[in-house]
Structure 1
């Protein structure tokens, strides 16, 4: 047999691996493209974001940079703030803001944008809390 030729079995195997790899890459798109109806806000060089940038009675995705940068910050009125992870608890994809929901573009999980609670799976756990600090009108992640 000519060693430079590819057998039909090997060619089909390589083709299936290529298709699977392309599907995986398509499902895990770029992290910061402003998914959904609102682009994530980026923090300043000092690692903070002004409270005034967050609308009252709303959830805002904030990109704090570094590893796992997305945080969903829920602002009530005034300085009433809570925050949770911006990553789906199913397989870690960055969630997309979609009105009153945070949706996983990878596998369809949906979370309540105000509480982080699961609205629809496959995720089974709510978005975990993230510690933030408010000082002099500036918000930063608590380390």
Structure 2
């Protein structure tokens, strides 16, 4: 007797595979956007400080591994930088007004202090080292 082209075992895997691919599609490029605006993009040399608004929080894409950084700028050179990734599971955060929201599990962070506002995350966002050189903001590695 000839075996069918599709065994029962393989037929049962089709729904699970489809669900898995659908889940991966949900984690596509739209999860890397932050709220309704894209993060500012820095070239290899950094980003001009004048592009980062004063008295505001701004997400910047520095490229490379873990590229998203939250820049909290006061006036002039007064700034602090935090990781743009959730401390719960490492998902890229989205900025919504004065909060950063995690699209994966719903954690929320204060966009000025990096403090957790809503779990499941329990740790605040870690600081990231940045430096201003000749009017350009650069990430320090």
TM-score (norm 1): 0.87
Verify the 8 A CA contact 1:64 1:71 in the aligned structure 2. Answer: yes
Residue 22 of structure 1 is matched in structure 2 by 22
The 1:44–1:6 alpha-carbon spacing in structure 2 relative to 1, beyond 3 Å, is closer
Q: Where do 5+ consecutive residues of structure 2 fail to align?
A: none
1:111 CA displacement: 0.7
Task: Kindly indicate whether residue 42 of structure 2 is the aligned counterpart of residue 43 of structure 1.
Answer: yes
Task: Kindly indicate whether residue 86 of structure 2 is the aligned counterpart of residue 88 of structure 1.
Answer: yes
**Equivalents in 1 of 2:6, 2:133: separation in Å?**
65
Residue 11 of structure 1 is matched in structure 2 by 11
The 1:34–1:16 alpha-carbon spacing in structure 2 relative to 1, beyond 3 Å, is closer
Kindly report which structure 2 residues correspond to 1:1-143, keeping only aligned pairs within 5 A, or say none.
2-23=2-23, 25-30=24-29, 34-46=33-45, 48-143=46-141
1:37 CA displacement: 2.9
1:31 CA displacement: 6.8
TM-score (norm 2): 0.88
* Alignment size in residue pairs: 141
Aligned-residue CA RMSD (Å): 1.9
